[in-house]
Structure 1
Amino acid sequence: MQLDATDLKILQQLQADGRISNQDLADKVFLSPSSCLRRVRMLEEGGIIHHYCAVIDAAAVGLEVDAFVQVTMRRDVEQWHENFSQALQQWPEVVGSYIITGDANYLLRVRARNLKHYSAFVLERLYKTTGVLDIRSNIVLQTLKDTQQIATSLLVATE
């Protein structure tokens, strides 16, 4: 899908406030409400806007531990990738999972109530998953930047 400068403005506004009314959005990007709504629907249907959500402050709801976990798998286990991918879908502690380059196969972002909860997750679920060879945990001490927003300056407008 080709994005123009107006599309980028719409995306920027929606990332800042996903609950903005169509009228307010149209005013901010200098479009009529009907034109604005049409563009937003095209961005949604084109897969540019994936979904809308509320961002929850994990610490405020009692999730004190934030960890990045590198997982290395044994390659001699049949269907190790499929089995691991299926297992991690059942773990609510895993809030992000990525296939990565380097020594490990996966990088997981894990949220837990406390170290006891995190330890139980690692020992009772992760280590017991067939094919897991090695786990390396990095506990977050302080978050400097954490956003899902994509800077529109990184995107190229076509005009």
Structure 2
Amino acid sequence: MHAIALDAVDIHILDVLQRQGRISNLELAERVALSPSACLRRTKILEERGIIGRYQAHLSAEALGLTLEAFVHVSMRNDVPNWHETFTAAMEGWPEIVSAYVITGDSHYLLRVIAPDLKHFSSFILNKLYKAPGVMDIRSNIVLQAVKDTPGAPVGLIRLANAAGG
């Protein structure tokens, strides 16, 4: 998939919206130095092109009492039929898993898990994850402190439409 060419104004709109999704069109237009109608038109185009996928509130897991975060590596047995489909279907029903990735390396999956406490996390690992068909090995890393956690896309890496011919 090729990157869509964006100009500096588009990138500025994306940066502001990613940081402040509830900003009004009028305020956004002022921040990016456009008229409200031009700003709204550009924002709609960014939405239609799929660059802006959705608007959502960012909830604080800690404020909600979900204070344990861990990254969990899961290795599967390849001799179990449909192990990938079965495991990914099971993950859909587990709210503790907030992100899941198929990865390279020693494990098949990297999961980001959030739980209220260590007791709940342990129960999740022992009673759900270990019991999933095909699971061979689980390694957990509990987060002690988030040093950097930037949601969304790194807007600073987007190339301008007219930069370097691309």
1:4-153 alignment runs, 5 A limit = 4-153=7-156
- State the Cα distance separating 1:12 from its structure 2 match: 0.7
- State the Cα distance separating 1:156 from its structure 2 match: 0.3
Counting aligned pairs with the same residue, the percent is 55
TM-score by length of structure 2 reads 0.93
Q: Which structure 1 residue ranges, 4+ long, deviate > 3 Å from structure 2?
A: none
Q: Which runs of 5+ in 1 are unaligned?
A: none
**How large is the RMSD of aligned CA atoms in angstroms?**
1.0
**Distance (whole Å) between structure 1 residues aligned to residue 108 and residue 74 of structure 2:** 6
Q: Which stretch shows the higher mean deviation, 145-154 or 34-43?
A: 145-154
- State the Cα distance separating 1:152 from its structure 2 match: 2.2
Aligned amino acid, residue 139 of structure 1 = I
Aligned amino acid, residue 74 of structure 1 = R
TM-score by length of structure 1 reads 0.96
Q: Which stretch shows the higher mean deviation, 33-42 or 133-142?
A: 33-42
Q: Which stretch shows the higher mean deviation, 140-149 or 125-134?
A: 140-149
Q: Which runs of 5+ in 2 are unaligned?
A: none
**Distance (whole Å) between structure 1 residues aligned to residue 80 and residue 152 of structure 2:** 38
